[in-house]
Structure 1
Amino acid sequence: MTTSESAQPAAPSTRLPRTLTRDLGQHDGQPVRLQGFVHARRDLGGVQFVVLRDKSGVAQCVGSGLHLPLPESSVEITGTVKAHKKAPGGFEVQVGSMKVLSAATQASPLEIPKMEWNVNPETMLDYRYVSVRGLRERAALKVQGEIVYAFHTYLRGQGFTEISTPKIVSAGAEGGANLFKLDYFGEQAYLAQSPQLYKQIMVGVFERVYEVAPVYRAEEHATSRHLNEYLSLDVEMGFIDDEEDVMNLENGFMTFAMERLRESCAAEFELLGATIPEVPRHIPRITLLEARKLVTEKFGHQVGGKDLDPEAERLLCQHFSETENSDFVFVTKYPRAARPFYTHADHTEDGSLNPDLTRGFDLLFRGIEITSGGQRIHEYQMLMNSIDAYKMNREAMSGYSEVFKYGMPPHGGFAIGAERLTARLLGIANVRYARAFPRDRNRLTP
């Protein structure tokens, strides 16, 4: 080949570019090339129907003389777009050719187009590698992805820096026995139950930090609202006046996130029959003591324990929905016994510390807690006293506590369980369906 020959431009490709199913309306009467999965199929003898699913949606394709592969086979279809009011999206593709890119070798264990979350839920999770392809399943995961995107975007806009903290640790952030143990080269180690201690340390570096990462809780619960591994959206901010600054930040994030979902996930909410809430400019607040009194006097529900039980959370949210048209409510001023050791004590009216109450809070949404947060202890001696009061080992906590000898600012933060927020937004009864591959006390696969 001569130099002049090698410099000749390549001939333009005559192959059609790939079209996504959501864009068929832009190609009415034109040829298109689709790639995706066989979502459903029907053979009526002389006519075959294929519902093709790609990342953007589904499309009805109609042809004749086609060899229809098993559902979930990946295929490429070329054909002409025609308006059809009964087809998904109002358009169908009249098939010219269909090429099987990768044939399913056996029938799917689940009929994906007909899956329902309230039918054989364990079976759906057993075959999660297939069931996660369902339109409803992936809609939930897309919504969660957009929440995470909003979290990154909003916090960066507020001057926060993303950090990454260890997930193999020598001690738990909150104490207790809900830690997964592991052998770390002959030493006892644990999976992190929270990035709390590290994100506090990093406040001394960047002042405002956040992290999106999994956390692990070795709790032998079997409820519809708990996971043993979940995605935690964590925030910590320095130089605050009190916990109100933290609650105001979360208020702003929730407002931003819901607007993002309106822009990017309207179709997913419609598919799941869910509504995106309006976030008040100032989410209502109520102290824990007042909340317990309210649900007892208004609803006759006696609250046991040191916190709100699930029924009390539901009733409290019902009250604020009815009286203030708010799906959100902050519950504040938790007692010391109901908060971790690092939570800052509240002050009395004369400015002295109240050893019985803290500046900790929870955010409830549509009947369930989705956030725990508050102001943290920032003074070294106060922290030491708290560690002693909780009967924790000072030496074991020294990798965390030492930084408080070096001028830590007043600070606070919160953590959101991404799956729990997703489930509540979409009306998903079990939080396991808001995670691609959930881990609970009985599930390690797939």
Structure 2
Amino acid sequence: MCRVLAREISSHVGKAVCLEGFLHWKRDLGGIRFVLLRDRSGVVQVVVDRRFELPLAESSMRVVGRVVENPKAPGGYEVVAEDLEFYAKAVEPSPIEIPKEEWRASPETLLEYRYVSLRGEKARAPLKLQAALVRGFRSYLDAQGFTEIFTPKIVSAGAEGGSNLFGVDYFEHRAYLAQSPQLYKQIMVGVFERVYEVAPVFRAEQHATSRHLNEYLSLDVEMGFIRSEEDVMALEEELLRAMLEEARRSAEFEARLLEVEWPNTQEMPRLEHKEARRILREELGLAVGADLNEEAERALGAWAKERWGVDFLFVTKYPEAARPFYAYPEGDGLTRGFDLLFRGLEITSGGQRIHQHEVLVEQLRKKGHDPAQFAGYLEVFKYGMPPHGGFAIGAERLTQRLAGLPNVRYARAFPRDRHRLTP
């Protein structure tokens, strides 16, 4: 007998089916015992008579039974068990009552026992939503002539300089975990013109907030032969629409479970950095520096929602002081760099890059870097590079804001933060 998933039983009324999954929950009501079986598609109620002994919750199991209609059962259908088999019985009670999962209750416990808390429908839903977003990311870019690339995660120097690098011993050398594939994806623009990568990046930042991770999934894009950063932002607009449409289509159940409020994707206005700072100071009463902090981002997001009814906001023309060395300089202290805020959270940093060798060397020195440390990267610019630009989307931050999660850690299966190396 072929296996039937929980979400499929409505089409098998009156028929015998085989279910496989986990013992999600059990209850004894006046001689009738009910079990909820959970599989990858959802949960289904099973009626079990007393000849079957029921083990602890989370035991893996197989049920053979007949499907009947029951308006009081989850989904309106249940299975009357004729045979039960337990593949592996839980040997101790679960540290988390999965049917009662609640993110805001003891988040450290949820994260410490992630190997079991993830089994809950609500806990795993953001990961399913994220998988759909990434699938939409790949599909759209493939259709636009982009080539997926795979770049090193052990590198000799950071792409952005600074001290936020994890050092590793690499035989007789000192190496680092890549904080970004930026330098490699620029090199690959000279090969394929349009490239993207889906891979983890590592940031050794001493953060302990609800929006920071030290390892996260970066969705990187780089494209050649652009006219300005406007081409890059236009691409990202269409890309995000495609990603969200894929999530809406293929993660419909998870979106309903998380009560996702789908964003306005029709309008993604631009606001120059200088004007953004003026609004923050004069209209919102906030003191801000060149790089907008968390409070400033939230305030701008709320301001844009109230003023324009938008969920996405590009902040453009960042000053050189707030951008890495490869940001294309405008000549007036500004760059062609931008950030994209989604509901008051930065999910993207991007812009046009420098494509001239001599300008890159000059900017490296201006930022206090030794060009010799970037020799391998600089070599390609000696042989002709097109005007190019790109961006990186933080997959967990996008998922967090879309799903309304209280903490970005819930948007990663096994998060790595300042204090967490397990599970």
Size of the aligned set, in residue pairs, is: 422
Match runs of 1:333-348 below 5 Å: 333-346=317-330
Alignment equivalent of 1:136, drawn from 103, 119, 122:
122
- Whether contact under 8 Å (1:261, 1:276) holds in the other structure is no
**Alignment-derived partner of residue 3 in structure 1:** none
- Whether contact under 8 Å (1:258, 1:278) holds in the other structure is no
**Displacement after TM superposition at 1:302 (Å):** 2.5
Matched, 1:289 2:274: yes
- Which consecutive aligned stretches of 4+ in structure 1 deviate over 6 angstroms post-superposition? none
Q: Structure 2: how far apart are the matches of 1:343 and 1:87?
A: 58
**Alignment-derived partner of residue 295 in structure 2:** 311
Q: Structure 1: how far apart are the matches of 2:225 and 2:75?
A: 52
**Alignment-derived partner of residue 409 in structure 2:** 432
Post-superposition Cα deviations, 1:225-283, rounded to whole Å, max 9, x if no partner, equal 00000000000000000000000000001111111121112221221122121301x41
Matched, 1:36 2:21: yes
Matched, 1:240 2:226: yes
**Alignment-derived partner of residue 6 in structure 1:** none
Alignment equivalent of 1:207, drawn from 169, 176, 193:
193
**Displacement after TM superposition at 1:97 (Å):** 1.2
Matched, 1:80 2:66: yes
Structure 1 counterpart SS, 2:334: strand
Structure 2 counterpart SS, 1:89: helix
Residue 325 of structure 1 aligns to which amino acid in structure 2? G
Matched, 1:406 2:406: no
**Alignment-derived partner of residue 259 in structure 1:** 245
Residue 307 of structure 1 aligns to which amino acid in structure 2? D
Alignment equivalent of 1:323, drawn from 278, 300, 307:
307
Residue range with higher mean Cα deviation, 94-103 or 371-380:
94-103
**TM-score, normalising length: structure 2:** 0.98
Alignment equivalent of 1:110, drawn from 83, 96, 100:
96
Matched, 1:176 2:153: no
Post-superposition Cα deviations, 1:358-406, rounded to whole Å, max 9, x if no partner, equal 0000000011100000000000100010011011111110010110000
Matched, 1:370 2:347: yes
Q: Structure 1: how far apart are the matches of 2:341 and 2:373?
A: 34
Alignment equivalent of 1:57, drawn from 42, 48, 71:
42
Q: Structure 2: how far apart are the matches of 1:200 and 1:87?
A: 56
Match runs of 1:343-362 below 5 Å: 343-346=327-330, 353-354=331-332, 356-362=333-339
Q: Structure 2: how far apart are the matches of 1:100 and 1:44?
A: 22
Residue 291 of structure 1 aligns to which amino acid in structure 2? A
Tell me which structure has the larger Cα radius of gyration.
1
Alignment equivalent of 1:417, drawn from 394, 397, 403:
394
Alignment equivalent of 2:361, drawn from 384, 392, 398:
384
Post-superposition Cα deviations, 1:1-22, rounded to whole Å, max 9, x if no partner, equal xxxxxxxxxxxxxxx2100000
- Whether contact under 8 Å (1:269, 1:276) holds in the other structure is no
**Displacement after TM superposition at 1:30 (Å):** 1.2
Any stretches of 5+ residues in structure 1 without a counterpart? 1-15, 347-352
- Whether contact under 8 Å (1:180, 1:190) holds in the other structure is yes
Residue range with higher mean Cα deviation, 37-46 or 357-366:
37-46
CA-atom RMSD in angstroms: 1.0
Q: Structure 2: how far apart are the matches of 1:121 and 1:186?
A: 41
**Displacement after TM superposition at 1:420 (Å):** 0.8
Structure 2 counterpart SS, 1:278: coil
- Whether contact under 8 Å (1:174, 1:341) holds in the other structure is yes
Any stretches of 5+ residues in structure 2 without a counterpart? none
Post-superposition Cα deviations, 1:95-144, rounded to whole Å, max 9, x if no partner, equal 11111111111111111111211111111111111111111111010001
The percentage of counterpart residues that share the same residue type is 60
Structure 2 counterpart SS, 1:60: strand
Q: Structure 1: how far apart are the matches of 2:263 and 2:268?
A: 12
**Alignment-derived partner of residue 8 in structure 1:** none
Q: Structure 2: how far apart are the matches of 1:258 and 1:187?
A: 43
**TM-score, normalising length: structure 1:** 0.93
Residue 436 of structure 1 aligns to which amino acid in structure 2? A
